[in-house]
Amino acid sequence: MNFFQRLRKDIEAVFDRDPAARNALEVICCYPGLHAIWLHRVASLLWRHHLKLPGRLISHINRIFTGIEIHPGAEIGTGVFIDHGSGVVIGETASIGDNALLYQGVVLGGTSKKSGKRHPTLEDNVEVGAGGILLGPITVGEGARVGAGSVVTKSVPSATTAVGVPAQVSREGSQEKPDFNLDHADIPDPLGDVFEYLLERQLDLEETVSQLKEELENGSEKDEEVLDSGLGI
Ligand SMILES: CC(C)(COP(=O)(O)OP(=O)(O)OC[C@H]1O[C@@H](n2cnc3c(N)ncnc32)[C@H](O)[C@@H]1OP(=O)(O)O)[C@@H](O)C(=O)NCCC(=O)NCCS
């Protein structure tokens, strides 16, 4: 995915998750969560090229403008959306998969003073409600949701919802994963299905009628032959 495709995906992520978003210009100008992700990309690039101080400086400027603190060492996937944003803190060894949704006040924090992996990992399509605090090198599985105001200190299985302090898994497995796919080609078309079924039935019936007609015609020809021979014509 090239630079412009990524930017486009970031903007699409806002439209997918926020019904208040009206047009691309508004999204580009007025969404601090989007600005934070874009500035983080720059900070992260510098960090990975061993320009640690410039990376930290960009991250600091990001915090001043957006109220969102993302360490340049954190890994953030594509299509991630931070809604509202203020008070979000994402630690150095945190990792966020694609299409995650975070609200204001979310903390992906560490509990250990030792270096090394000490922040949470969020897999793809995870949602963390406002004020959700996730601590330590735990993993939140794909499609899982964390309730607003919850404190999570243990890993959360995929496709479950964890709520409360400390968070407990309140709903297991059966829930639907967040589905942001609004592709019109994939939307179910019940009316089209009915038409297709009716068309198939009509074709079946036409075939049956023409078979019956054929049999009738053959039958009446035979009857005429029998009648003719009976009359000795
Ligand atoms: C956790 C969440 C995702 C669950 O949504 P849901 O699947 O629709 O679940 P429900 O609202 O039906 O609630 C299911 C149960 O969890 C409880 N619950 C929901 N959210 C909770 C929370 N944050 N903390 C504690 N309990 C919570 C409900 O009271 C309910 O309990 P019950 O079964 O005993 O009645 C949602 O409640 C949430 O917190 N979303 C975050 C939204 C947000 O932060 N928005 C900010 C916009 S600015």
Judge if 141 and 225 occupy the same domain: no
* Among candidate residues 132, 130, 128, the one with its CA nearest the CA of residue 144: 128
Phi, psi of 178 (to 5 degrees): -55, 130
pLDDT for 188 equals 56
Q: Is residue 93 part of a domain?
A: yes
Question: Mean pLDDT lowest for which of 21-30, 91-100, 166-175, 203-212?
Answer: 166-175
Q: Over 90: is that where the pLDDT of 177 sits?
A: no
CA 177 to CA 173: how far, in whole Å? 9
Assign residue 91 the CATH number of its domain. Answer: 2.160.10.10
Bridge partners (DSSP) of residue 102 are: 82, 128
DSSP structure class, residue 49: T
Cα 6 to Cα 1: distance, rounded to the nearest angstrom: 6
Query: 113 CA distance to ligand 1 centroid (A)?
Result: 32
In this structure, the residue with its CA closest to atom 37 of ligand 1 is: 147
d(CA 207, CA 3): 57
Residue 215 vs residues 19, 87, 147, 225: alpha-carbon distances, Å:
63, 81, 70, 15
Give yes or no for residue 183 having a pLDDT over 60. Answer: no
* pLDDT at residue 186 tops 60: no
17-46 pLDDT, tens per residue? 999 999 999 999 999 999 999 999 999 999
Quote the ligand 1 centre to 169 CA distance (angstroms).
Answer: 11
Pairing of β 161-163 and β 168-171: antiparallel
145-146 vs 95-96, strand pairing mode: unpaired
Nearest-atom index, ligand 1, CA of 170: 16
Amino acid 129 reads G
Number of domains in the chain: 2
- Residue 146 shares a structural domain with residue 65: yes
The pLDDT of residue 200 is above 60: yes
Residue-wise pLDDT for 143-152, tens only, equals 999 999 999 9
More confident residue, 189 or 119: 119
Domain assignment present for residue 46? The answer is yes
Q: Evaluate: CB of 145 within 6 angstroms of ligand 1.
A: yes
Q: Are residues 216 and 143 in the same domain?
A: no
Question: 101 and 205 in one domain?
Answer: no
- Its pTM stands at 0.75
In a domain, 180, yes or no: no
Write the single-letter amino acid at 139. Answer: T
Assess contact for 24 and 36: CB atoms under 8 A.
no
- Token pair for residue 143? 């499609």
Tell whether the model's pLDDT for residue 178 goes beyond 60.
Answer: no
Distance CA 83, CA 180 (A): 15
Structure tokens at 80: 């991630």
From the CB of 160, is ligand 1 less than 6 Å away?
Answer: no
Band of residue 221 on the pLDDT scale cut at 50, 70, 90: confident
| 8-state DSSP, 97 | -
Tell me, using a 6 A CB cutoff, whether residue 87 lines ligand 1: no
Query: 192 and 83 share a domain?
Result: no
106 and 195 in a single domain? The answer is no
Q: Percent of the chain, pLDDT > 90?
A: 73
Contact 126, 153 (CB under 8 A): no
Taking CA atoms only, the protein residue closest to ligand 1 atom 41 is: 129
Residue 212: give the domain boundaries. 188-231
Residue 178 lies in a domain: no
pLDDT band at 153 (very low <50, low <70, confident <90, very high): very high
